[in-house]
Structure 1
Amino acid sequence: MVQSVLLAGFVVGVAIVVGIAVAFARGRYQHTPSFTGERATSADGVLSVARTPAAWAVSFVFLTLLAGGATVLAVGGFGVSPGVARGASILLAAVGGAVLVGYIFYGTFVAARARGLHTAQAAAFGSWAVGLLLLVAVAASLLGFA
């Protein structure tokens, strides 16, 4: 029980720190359009690295190793305590859920953009698809299927 609370607290703390970092990394909005003399921010550097195939390959390998390690710990490998196995199961479910939600959102977004919709409209359709998935999960839980 204590490990689950600590894990949840850690995940929420990381989310808060990432949110604050993203908020401070964004540049100030300019009131008039200007295409010359724009300053580069740290977000531009992160985006340029994220667009490289090497970053995608490294992140895939990292997620694969994380999922493999969490699976081994979840089934009780290496004589770990039940609390660690439960935490690994929660981590595995969280990563799997995040990948599923990202896949649904991105797929819907790209399909909407390919049909000629604007970015905001495509984002709305992606959010709608994720919300529909959440509603189906809640309905299945209320009906006793999950």
Structure 2
Amino acid sequence: MVSLTLLSTALMGLLVVGTFVAVAQIGAKRTAPGAGSISRYDAITGTLSEVAQKPITWAISFILITVGIGAVALLAVGSFGVPEGLSGSLLTLVYAAVALLIAGFVFFGAYFGARGRGLGNAHGVAAGSFAAGLLFLVLIVAQLLVGVIG
């Protein structure tokens, strides 16, 4: 049994070394595919970037999210014949959506604030993570002091 394990380890080691050698030789000879032309990925991300930078896109998204959350909340608490178990789940879904929106607002606000001041992506992610973590810490303290959840 031990000899089988040693043989397997040796074969896997040779396979890893062979893979590294093959990749090193291929990388030295080849150029990136499609180096001169624009790729499909770049075209799609460019188009999505243009759409995301338009204010009308943000306005329509905000209106749709607000109306959607309001409709689900109204469906959860209104007398529309929704079963009681489902209305509780819908209300929990509304709470989760609002919490996710607030956390996203805090994270991306800090991220774009750092990026707008000339810092890099990593600094923006660090600022956003710090702000979202601070929000989570405040939520934990509020829960321990006054019980805001449940």
TM-score by length of 2: 0.63
Could you say if the C-alpha distance between residues 59 and 114 of structure 1 is closer, same or farther in structure 2, counting changes exceeding 3 Å?
closer
Structure 1 residue 83, shift from structure 2 partner: 1.6
Look up the match of 2:59. 57
Post-superposition Cα deviations, 1:40-94, rounded to whole Å, max 9, x if no partner, equal 3144443333333343233222212211111212213313221221122112112
Look up the match of 1:87. 89
The 8 Å contact of residues 76 and 91 in structure 2, kept in 1 or not, is answered as yes
Q: Which runs of 4+ in 1 moved over 4 A?
A: none
Matched AA of 2:83: S
Structure 1 residue 103, shift from structure 2 partner: 1.0
Structure 1 residue 36, shift from structure 2 partner: 4.5
**SS class of match (1:91):** helix
Structure 1 segment 67-78 matched on structure 2, within 5 A? 67-78=69-80
Structure 1: segments with no counterpart, 5+ residues = 1-30
Look up the match of 2:127. 125
The 8 Å contact of residues 76 and 82 in structure 1, kept in 2 or not, is answered as no
2:50 & 2:119 partners in 1: Cα distance?
A: 25
Matched AA of 1:111: G
1:77 & 1:49 partners in 2: Cα distance?
A: 39
Matched AA of 1:85: S
Look up the match of 1:40. 40
Matched AA of 2:144: L
The 8 Å contact of residues 76 and 90 in structure 2, kept in 1 or not, is answered as yes
Matched AA of 1:37: S
Identity across aligned pairs (percent)? 35
Matched AA of 1:65: V
Aligned-residue RMSD, C-alpha: 2.6
Q: 2:107 is matched with which residue: 105, 108, 125?
A: 105
Most deviating of 35-44 and 110-119: 35-44
Is the radius of gyration larger for structure 1 or structure 2?
2
Most deviating of 74-83 and 129-138: 74-83
Aligned pair count?
Answer: 115
1:57 & 1:93 partners in 2: Cα distance?
A: 22
Higher RCO by CA contacts (8 Å cutoff, separation 6 or greater): 1
Could you say if the C-alpha distance between residues 51 and 114 of structure 1 is closer, same or farther in structure 2, counting changes exceeding 3 Å?
closer
The 8 Å contact of residues 76 and 82 in structure 2, kept in 1 or not, is answered as no
